[in-house]
Amino acid sequence: DAMVIQNPRYQVTQFGKPVTLSCSQTLNHNVMYWYQQKSSQAPKLLFHYYDKDFNNEADTPDNFQSRRPNTSFCFLDIRSPGLGDAAMYLCATSRDRGPSADTQYFGPGTRLTVL
């Protein structure tokens, strides 16, 4: 089945130790998104790629970076995780941009713990 896959499902890191979360998709969608979701809060968009075009949200900290080496893969790098970065990180895709392609497809998420 075509899907959005996130690895790992659970990640534990130490304060200040860089960590990378990965997302892959078999949908061949042009757009990939990274969200941060904290308990009882709405998913917060960090950034998205339209093809290779990177779009950073204005309030995303510089500590968060992303890479999209090809259509299928997208990575979230947290350079120096703080305790406040502990959250669920959701990857999503959409076929394109525009009214006929605005449905998003989500992966299961990676829960990040910072010790």
Closer to other proteins by Cβ: residue 17 or 29 = 29
Would you count residue 103 as binding other proteins (CB under 8 A)? yes
Residue 39 and residue 70: Cα distance in Å, rounded?
31
Residues with Cβ within 8 Å of 2's Cβ and at least 6 positions away in sequence, in order, are 25, 26, 27
Binding-residue total with other proteins (CB under 8 A): 23
Q: Tell me how far, at minimum, the Cβ of 90 lies from other proteins, in Å.
A: 6
Burial tier of 71 (Cβ tally within 10 Å: 0-12, 13-18, 19+): middle
Q: Tell me how far, at minimum, the Cβ of 114 lies from other proteins, in Å.
A: 21
Of residues 23-82, which lie at the interface with other proteins (CB under 8 A)? 40-43, 45, 48
Q: Tell me how far, at minimum, the Cβ of 102 lies from other proteins, in Å.
A: 4
Q: How many CB atoms lie within 10 A of CB 100?
A: 8
Binding residues for other proteins, per CB under 8 A? 4, 6, 40-43, 45, 48, 90, 92, 94, 97-99, 101-109
